[in-house]
Structure 1
Amino acid sequence: MTTIAVNGPAPYEVVIDQGLDARIAEHAKATGADKVMVVHQPSIAAPAAQLAKHLQAEGLQVVVEEVPDAEAGKRVATPIMLWDRLGEENFSRTDAIVGLGGGAVTDMAGFVAATWMRGIKVIQVPTTLLAMVDAAVGGKTGINTAAGKNLVGAFHEPSAVFIDLERLRTLPADEIIAGSAEIIKTGFIHDPVIIERYEQDPAACLDPDGFLPELIARSVAVKAKVVGEDLKEAGLRETLNYGHTFGHAVELRENYSWRHGKAVAVGLMFIAHLSHARGLIDASLVAQHERILHSIGLPTTYEPGHFDELYQAMTRDKKNRHGTIRFVALTGVGSTTRLEGPSIDELRAAYDAISQ
């Protein structure tokens, strides 16, 4: 078992192990809750029912709620439905929500917990690789609107995060590949050992019996350190958005039909080319981005002809200030900076470099 502490205003632990349902139930009881709502996606109804049994065995009243899969579950209608159910079941400020599922569920369950009675406890139980290394840790919550992804949300730290490595064995290969983009991102911005692992043996980096458990722990440790020092993204936490400015624009243009990790992978290539054009990194680091992403099956290009639409999406990015587009960029592996106010010509050139 690995336990990683997340410090900050409301410290909590990320527990990485196998067979964690009983421990999740014990933690829920220890929070002082009388009632727990388990929020899950359709594909994990059986694990949700199993977790509910463990919670009931601890004497807790359990409400199990299914929400639409993926980004469809982050539309405004979903929290409204859950708020109504919390009201019907008389959930109080001492009760709790469990977000069991992928990143869309942990984002949305956290948002509902943050807003019900101005904040109740949330326990995050990620079941996808992306959620394990990104969405479930750090207290960012949010839902989507027509204007963009996660533009409505709140910072609301979980009382605990439980990462059950057994769940990796039930994931489709494509889920592990997509989620790996966020691990690679943390390697480029803070932990060069992660990059070394992908260069050493890409296949092992996708293998639950290979490097993958180590990579999860390393990626979570990076995020825990960053959010522990900067919960509300005043500075350091912005580094976790490496590759996300262009990636979120792709997601919006694709109406969220692209997996988040795949959009981030293309975003990593976009900012690598933009950074190289600005003289921040050399061509070998751009090539390393492409080599690592390609080695595990992540996309490194995007179709041409959509720059204007993507540019408009980037102008609405949350990191922007006073109308200026701001990117997280590298100056080397493990070293970041801000790239602010690039010209349209520079942005178009980076887009052309990844278009085919």
Structure 2
Amino acid sequence: MQQLTVDLGDRSYPIFIGEGCLDATPSYLPYIAGEQVCIVTNDTLAPLYLSRVQKVLEGKKVTAVILPDGEAHKHFGTLNLIFDHLLAKKHNRKTTLIALGGGVIGDMTGFAAACYQRGVDFIQVPTTLLSQVDSSVGGKTGINHPLGKNMIGAFYQPKAVVIDTQVLSTLPAREISAGMAEVIKYGLLGDAPFIDWLESNMAALMALEPSALAYAIYRSCENKARIVAQDEREGDVRALLNLGHTFGHAIETQMGYGQWLHGEAVGAGMAIAAEVSHRSGWISDTDLARVHRLLAAASLPTAAPASMTVDQFLEHMAVDKKVLDGRLRFVLLRRLGQAFTTSDVPVALVQDVLVKSIAKGLVGPG
């Protein structure tokens, strides 16, 4: 088992990474202050992992909420099911919530923990590659709204993150590809040597080779932990983690949450951001081709949905969280391994890039 720390002073917390972490008592018990625990999971994962986590927590008063699976359920109605359960089972202010699932479960459980009795502890146990390398770390929690993704939520840090690499063997290939988008993102935004490593090891990663996966997860979490420690609430540096997300969130919102997986939309979004960077004169033809090859090697989309329009992109981007004082901040590439934020991108250039991406005629991911 490897361990990292997200350094946030007295709110610092560990990230445990390794095979078998799911069943390891030291991953949980030191971070549970009271006797009550509520495990939040979904109807796909409960048969696979719920009893295993319950066994580790023997001696605690454990209850469980089993939610419907999927991004389409990441809304107020589903969130309220968690509150209904906590109140019905009389969970007090010393209860600990455990998020056993992917990014949807993690985001909703964290948001519920931030709100219930004005804040209770929670632990992240991510079960998808995307949640292991990204959404479980850093304290972003929330739900979707029909007009925008993750527009309602809170910054609220977990007490610990428990990443068991063995659970990835049960994921479909499409989920592995979606998670790989966030792995690639860390290389592009600030870790050029990691890009080189990914180019040489993508086949092993897609085949779920254990040592390659463990390294990629550790390196991704290390990159994110460093950025979050510098900028917890996305005032500056943390915004770089949104590479590909401005365009990606527009795709998710327009196409319907869950039709494109988050990582698939981010993959297409990174391809669009790379093209804007190329057209702006920052990255070369060779660099742009490397981005496309890397995304393609992970079986990720490299173009926008054929059914979207430029106006739809712009409409959704106008309500993106990265709009500041009426101006949209883009995360672009000055070079591979060095991202930056800017509001000085001509709208006409962005529109032209979107037209060409849409014209590639991508029917759908997967």
Q: Which residue of the other structure, out of 259, 276, 286, is the alignment partner of 2:278?
A: 276
Distance (whole Å) between structure 2 residues aligned to residue 30 and residue 144 of structure 1: 29
Contact 2:251 2:305 in 1 (8 A): no
Alpha-carbon distance, 1:209 to partner: 2.6
Q: Which amino acid aligns with 1:285?
A: D
> What secondary structure does 1:231 align onto?
coil
1:85 maps onto 2:110 in alignment? no
Instruction: Decide whether aligned partners of structure 1 residues 155 and 292 sit closer, same or farther in structure 2, where only a CA change above 3 A counts.
Output: same
Alpha-carbon distance, 1:51 to partner: 1.1
Distance (whole Å) between structure 2 residues aligned to residue 294 and residue 20 of structure 1: 31
Q: Which amino acid aligns with 1:275?
A: S
Q: Which residue of the other structure, out of 274, 297, 300, is the alignment partner of 1:298?
A: 300
Alpha-carbon distance, 1:343 to partner: 3.2
Instruction: Decide whether aligned partners of structure 1 residues 280 and 24 sit closer, same or farther in structure 2, where only a CA change above 3 A counts.
Output: farther
> What secondary structure does 1:16 align onto?
strand
Alpha-carbon distance, 1:29 to partner: 5.7
TM-score with structure 2 setting the length: 0.93
Q: Which amino acid aligns with 1:204?
A: A
1:289 maps onto 2:291 in alignment? yes
1:211 maps onto 2:227 in alignment? no
The residue number in structure 2 matching 1:112 is 112
The residue number in structure 1 matching 2:146 is 146
Alpha-carbon distance, 1:50 to partner: 2.1
Deviations 1:288-346 (A, max 9, x none): 11011011211101234511111100111101111111111111122122121433311
Q: Which amino acid aligns with 1:20?
A: C
How many residue pairs get aligned? The number is 354
The residue number in structure 2 matching 1:237 is 238
The residue number in structure 1 matching 2:363 is none
1:44 maps onto 2:45 in alignment? yes
Q: Which amino acid aligns with 2:255?
A: E
Instruction: Decide whether aligned partners of structure 1 residues 17 and 209 sit closer, same or farther in structure 2, where only a CA change above 3 A counts.
Output: closer
Unmatched 5+ residue regions in structure 1?
none
Root-mean-square deviation over aligned CA pairs = 1.5
Contact 1:265 1:299 in 2 (8 A): yes
Alpha-carbon distance, 1:248 to partner: 0.3
1:343 maps onto 2:362 in alignment? no
Distance (whole Å) between structure 2 residues aligned to residue 132 and residue 53 of structure 1: 22
Instruction: Decide whether aligned partners of structure 1 residues 319 and 30 sit closer, same or farther in structure 2, where only a CA change above 3 A counts.
Output: closer
Q: Which amino acid aligns with 2:79?
A: P
Alpha-carbon distance, 1:30 to partner: 4.7
The residue number in structure 2 matching 1:168 is 168
Alpha-carbon distance, 1:93 to partner: 1.6
> What secondary structure does 1:203 align onto?
helix
Contact 2:36 2:61 in 1 (8 A): yes
Q: Which amino acid aligns with 1:339?
A: T
> What secondary structure does 1:328 align onto?
strand
Identity of aligned residues (%): 37
Contact 1:122 1:158 in 2 (8 A): yes
Distance (whole Å) between structure 1 residues aligned to residue 27 and residue 65 of structure 2: 21
> What secondary structure does 1:202 align onto?
helix
Q: Which residue of the other structure, out of 307, 323, 334, is the alignment partner of 2:310?
A: 307
Contact 1:113 1:120 in 2 (8 A): yes
> What secondary structure does 2:90 align onto?
coil
Instruction: Decide whether aligned partners of structure 1 residues 49 and 261 sit closer, same or farther in structure 2, where only a CA change above 3 A counts.
Output: same
Distance (whole Å) between structure 2 residues aligned to residue 161 and residue 201 of structure 1: 26
Alpha-carbon distance, 1:144 to partner: 0.6
- Which residues in structure 2 correspond to 1:171-210 (within 5 Å)? 171-206=171-206, 207-210=208-211
> What secondary structure does 1:232 align onto?
coil
Alpha-carbon distance, 1:42 to partner: 1.0
Distance (whole Å) between structure 1 residues aligned to residue 211 and residue 250 of structure 2: 33
TM-score with structure 1 setting the length: 0.96
